[in-house]
Amino acid sequence: MEIVKKYRYAILMGMDILQVIISCFLVSLFLGSSFAITANLSLSIFAVIVIVHVFCFKTFHLYKIIWRYATVRQLMKCAFSEFVAETILYLLLAVCTHKLPPLFFVMEFNILTFMLIISRMVYMLMIAYGADIRKRMAEDKQRDKARTLIVGAGEATKILLNDIYSNSHVIYDPICLVDDELSKQNRTLHGVKVEGKIEDIPELCEKFNIKVIIFSILTIDNQRKKEILRVCSQTNCFVKKVPNFKDFVEKRENIIKNIQNVSIHDLLGREPIHIENDSLAGFIGGRVVMVTGGGGSIGSELCRQIAALKPRQLIILDIYENNAYAIQQELIRNYGNNLRLKVEIASVRDISKMDLIFKKYHPEIVYHAAAHKHVPLMEHCPEEAVKNNICGTFNTAKLASQHGVKRFVLVSTDKAVNPTNIMGATKRCCEMIVQVMDTISKTEFVAVRFGNVLGSNGSVIPLFEQQIAMGGPVTVTHPDIIRYFMTIPEASQLLLAAGSMAKGGEIFILDMGDPVKITDLAKNLIKLSGYVPGRDIEIKFIGLRPGEKLFEELLLNEEGIQKTETSQIFIGAPLNIDREKFFKQFSELKVAADKNDSREVCKLLAKLVPTYHQPEEQLHVTYKNLEDNEGDDKERVLA
């Protein structure tokens, strides 16, 4: 078959010349002895007949058609080109006084057309048969391929299977399909049978010894997708997925190379927050926006989303030049000269440098994401947490007020609620700074509070992935520890929304959905990687880290809750804070931090943030709250 492919042009042309000669011979036989070849068909006329036919066949591109994929339209081209050839021959031979009866041309047209079409169909069958032979020969190598179950029997799977079968280097061996649609049960798609429904996946994986599951459904809501993937995670198979709808459309010519691993984001994913882009564009568009900590995981995503809203200028401020450089280059690649972009390497602790930056750019909106966030490290270095988080926030907020910034948005955390660690206490203090500043400034100060962010720097997910890649163990601090999770784009979108709807003094809170048990998270990650928890990868409990608590909260007991026009965003009511007392205690704390007196810093921070408790104290309170609310964390937090 490879020889046929290599010399297909010459083979087809030679086959056509032979068919022309045979058709002439057959016609002469049908017409009888009165029309003998020797009498009326000289070699020169034979040559003319052959040349005219080949000329017409080439003119109508019969030799450029990929006959393996030919349709009726291409076959009709054969008939039409033959009709043109016979017409030219009749006229040409009539002019040259070589008398051949019209019946000759009519009969040759019918015979040769039939032969042309049949020969093409035979050629098509030969190519298909050759492909089938190659497929059967490849079956000997199937042991090296992964037995694969595909979820979904729609258009995406049709394209996926076609790509698998046309690529000899693919590692997947499709064994069966599953689909919930009743009309598809027990039917086949590209020779692969629909063996059952979604709920049958664990049983089918065991029955057919499946090693890989590919999720191949494009149009599905996040909740249903999450449910299906959780069923898949009950198996010991690697779980993969086709690209999302946009990428699938763009890469449909080579889907198999773009198969992705299913991530924990897919298992935890929720329906996206719906915020009108028009309102965000009206708020951001045409304004000078500054993002502190703009190179971090949240800060960089903020910059991406802000850039798409066409600000007059975007200023990225960060102390770590590598991160700042990375987001700068990404935005330059994506927007070029359409985005006025400036990057400043500076620390929010350096008030004189920050003052110069405010004077230089006159930002109208500031998103303050710069902070130290690692809980255990801040327990060890409380004075650095105070200098960077509290003093850095105060410096930036003070300068925002002095330079007439319209709105200042603080990135906060659920760890600020009843904090049991230094980091959380400093972020609660930052929220207090924002609420105090809002009462004495024309700038509108707000804070946005949310839980853990999937994939952020220091997040548990990358740590688990690294530990799995190294063969384990996966380390979890406590069997009962739970956390709220959201994605980086969600967090950034909330921050932008808060900026657009704020009136000043609010703490915006996202409905984080249901809490996730970290032990379950670890087990799911291990399963998605194709391993069995406890057998292939061990889960090891190492104890709570310094300052860590089992359950995070989103609201202080004193805070009320208000709904906004966006169903997943809430507002915690501003608290009454004694300004004079706050600034006096803040000054004392700053002096202790500048002296690097860790013990005094912790003591003064506890005075400044009354809700700051040791983890042991808070653990007792939290367990009692959980019992009182029958374990319904969402109601406890947002009711």
- Helices 579-594, 598-608: axis angle to 10 degrees equals 170
- Whether residue 313 is found in the same domain as residue 414: yes
- Whether residue 426 is found in the same domain as residue 557: yes
Chain centroid to CA 123 = 43
Rounded CA-CA distance 139/135 in Å is 6
- Which of 221-225, 382-386, 620-624, 635-639 has the highest average model confidence (pLDDT)? 382-386
Average pLDDT, the chain: 80
What percent of the chain has a predicted confidence (pLDDT) above 70?
Answer: 78
Active site residue 415: yes
Rounded CA-CA distance 172/154 in Å is 18
Taking a C-beta distance cutoff of 8 angstroms, is the pair 604, 588 a contact? Answer: yes
Do the domain assignments include residue 390?
yes
Q: How many helices (DSSP H) and strands (DSSP E) are in the chain?
A: 26, 22
Taking a C-beta distance cutoff of 8 angstroms, is the pair 153, 195 a contact? Answer: no
- Whether residue 242 is found in the same domain as residue 369: no
Rounded CA-CA distance 112/118 in Å is 10
Q: What is the CATH number of the domain that holds 229?
A: 3.40.50.720
Taking a C-beta distance cutoff of 8 angstroms, is the pair 507, 559 a contact? Answer: yes
Band of residue 550 on the pLDDT scale cut at 50, 70, 90: low
> For the ranges 37-51, 336-350, 403-417, 472-486, which has the lowest average pLDDT?
37-51
* Whether pLDDT at 454 is above 70: no
> Please, is 55 exposed, middle or buried when counting C-beta atoms within 10 Å of its C-beta (0-12, 13-18, 19+)?
middle
Do the domain assignments include residue 268?
no
For the record, the structure tokens of 302 come out as 């903020």
Band of residue 340 on the pLDDT scale cut at 50, 70, 90: very high
pLDDT of residue 144: 64
pLDDT of residue 45: 75
Band of residue 401 on the pLDDT scale cut at 50, 70, 90: very high
Rounded CA-CA distance 404/252 in Å is 51
Taking a C-beta distance cutoff of 8 angstroms, is the pair 403, 362 a contact? Answer: yes
Domain boundary among 262, 287, 316: 262
Residues 293-337 have pLDDT tens digits of 999 988 999 999 999 999 999 999 999 999 999 999 999 999 999
Do the domain assignments include residue 68?
yes
Do the domain assignments include residue 480?
no
- Whether residue 254 is found in the same domain as residue 289: no
- Whether residue 223 is found in the same domain as residue 334: no
* Whether pLDDT at 635 is above 60: no
Rounded CA-CA distance 413/395 in Å is 20
Do the domain assignments include residue 476?
no
Secondary structure element (H or E) that encloses residue 292, with its range: strand 288-292
Range of the structural domain that residue 63 is part of: 2-138
Angle at the Cα of 450 (from 445 to 452), degrees rounded to 5?
140
pLDDT of residue 620: 46
Do the domain assignments include residue 461?
no
SS (H, E, C) 172-199: EEEEEEECCCHHHCCCEECCEEEEECHH
Mean pLDDT of 351-373: 95
Taking a C-beta distance cutoff of 8 angstroms, is the pair 110, 82 a contact? Answer: no
| 25 φ, ψ (degrees, to nearest 5) | -65, -45
Residues 476-535 have pLDDT tens digits of 888 878 776 777 777 788 788 877 887 888 888 876 666 778 888 888 788 777 788 888
Domain boundary among 199, 228, 262: 262
Alpha helices in 60-101 (DSSP H): 72-95
- Whether residue 320 is found in the same domain as residue 443: yes
Cis ω on the peptide bond leading into residue 376 (within 30° of 0)? no
- Whether residue 368 is found in the same domain as residue 503: yes
Taking a C-beta distance cutoff of 8 angstroms, is the pair 564, 501 a contact? Answer: yes
- Whether residue 209 is found in the same domain as residue 289: no
Residues 238-277 have pLDDT tens digits of 888 887 655 555 555 567 767 877 776 676 655 555 566 6
Top pLDDT among 559 and 186 is at 186
- Whether residue 357 is found in the same domain as residue 211: no
* Whether pLDDT at 201 is above 50: yes
| 542 φ, ψ (degrees, to nearest 5) | -115, 0
Domain boundary among 262, 288, 308: 262
* Whether pLDDT at 573 is above 80: no
Structurally, how many domains does the chain consist of?
A: 3
- Whether residue 111 is found in the same domain as residue 170: no
Band of residue 459 on the pLDDT scale cut at 50, 70, 90: low
Mean pLDDT of 225-246: 80
Residues 4-44 have pLDDT tens digits of 555 667 777 888 888 888 888 788 777 764 444 444 556 77
pLDDT of residue 567: 62
Residues 60-99 have pLDDT tens digits of 877 777 766 667 777 788 888 888 888 888 888 777 766 6
Mean pLDDT of 173-187: 90
For the record, the structure tokens of 358 come out as 């405010």
- Whether residue 75 is found in the same domain as residue 106: yes
Is the pTM higher than 0.85? The answer reads no
Taking a C-beta distance cutoff of 8 angstroms, is the pair 368, 293 a contact? Answer: yes
Do the domain assignments include residue 531?
no
Do the domain assignments include residue 10?
yes
- Whether residue 215 is found in the same domain as residue 286: no
pLDDT of residue 31: 72
Rounded CA-CA distance 83/60 in Å is 12
pLDDT of residue 623: 43
The residue annotated as part of the active site, out of 415, 427, 527, 549, is: 415
pLDDT of residue 3: 54
What percent of the chain has a predicted confidence (pLDDT) above 90?
Answer: 31
